[in-house]
Amino acid sequence: MPAKVLDGARIAAEIRAEVAAEVKALAAAGIRPGLAVILVGHNPASEIYVRGKIKACHEVLINSTQLTPPSATTDELVAMIEDLNRNNNVDGILVQLPLPPQVDAKKVLLAVDPAKDVDGFHPVNVGLLSTQRPGLVPCTPAGCIEILLRSQIPIAGQDAVVVGRSDIVGKPAAMLLLNANATVTVAHSKTRDLPALCRRADILIAAIGRPGFLTRDFVKPGATVIDVGMNKITDPAEFQKFFAGNSKREQSFRSKGSTLIGDVHPEVAEIAGALTPVPGGVGPLTIAMLMFNTLKAAKMRRSGA
């Protein structure tokens, strides 16, 4: 029996509708949450992501400001962020990554007021998450947890394995699972016998950034698999390796010249109990949780929490 598909697009729409209703209620009290997005240079992928974030703001009635300097030094960006930190109409500040090579990204991200850090990357928010205090949580890992909760998949007492140890996804996902009373193992490229370790997992989160890396050998029958990967395939031979016989995908690949695949091999659908698709799984949750975080920042700042 094929895995149950965990529809991230549907869950993201639910969250956005909830955020929109709360924003509308705040507007009646004269409060309008605001998000400022800084995009430096002309990275085509980043421009697409930012357009999606600004569009989502309009849909949930959050004010959005976009700052797009064609180039900037570290000091110029820090000054720009300090202005936004002081601006009371801005509740969330998002610096779109990657930044150009001449910019010290760590210094820039550290300049963001933790109360406005809607990406949840600031060390203060990392510390709040690790000590289970209220703060802003990174959007993608928070989205993974929402998928589990809203799909009625138990977390407490489950064995969870997170494959990937990035500051953006792997580490915060592990912390969120731990806070929800799962027993958590973080695995990575240096882990010995990774397939055997992953096969212990009731919940397996794949965030390693390698297309189709986790095959059926990594998955315990009936496990829930959350695929955070987003990899573009353009090579026809690689496409055949993953999607041979999938006529719908083949037609799309022929017309577009590319397709998206996660970190999980499509064959895992034959053995997992539940699985997020790519696209349409974790991806839509990232922007939905950004809207949630902007609303949360607005409420926390005004309540003094």
Active-site position among 119, 202, 227, 263 = 119
With the C-alpha atoms ordered 246, 255, 10, 156, is the resulting torsion angle positive or negative? positive
Q: Answer whether 203's CB lies under 8 Å from 223's CB.
A: yes
Concerning whether 217 is annotated as a catalytic residue, the answer is no
Concerning whether 53 is annotated as a catalytic residue, the answer is yes
Please give the Cα distance from 278 to 260 (Å, whole number): 7
DSSP state string for the chain: -PPEE--HHHHHHHHHHHHHHHHHHHHHTT---EEEEE--S--HHHHHHHHHHHHHHHHTT-EEEEE--SS--HHHHHHHHHHHHH-TT--EEEEPSSPPTTS-HHHHHHHS-GGGBTT--SHHHHHHHHTT-S----HHHHHHHHHHHHTT---TT-EEEEE---TTTHHHHHHHHHHTT-EEEEE-TT-TTHHHHHTT-SEEEE-S--TT-B-GGG--TT-EEEE---EEE--HHHHHHHHTT-HHHHHHHHHHS-EEE-SB-GGGGGT-SEE--SSSSHHHHHHHHHHHHHHHHHHHHHHT-
Nearest by Cα to 226 from 161, 131, 130? 161
| Chain position carrying tokens 């924003």 | 23
Active-site position among 53, 171, 220, 296 = 53
Concerning whether 119 is annotated as a catalytic residue, the answer is yes
Please give the Cα distance from 161 to 191 (Å, whole number): 12
Active-site position among 91, 96, 202, 296 = 96
Residues labelled as active-site residues: 53, 96, 119
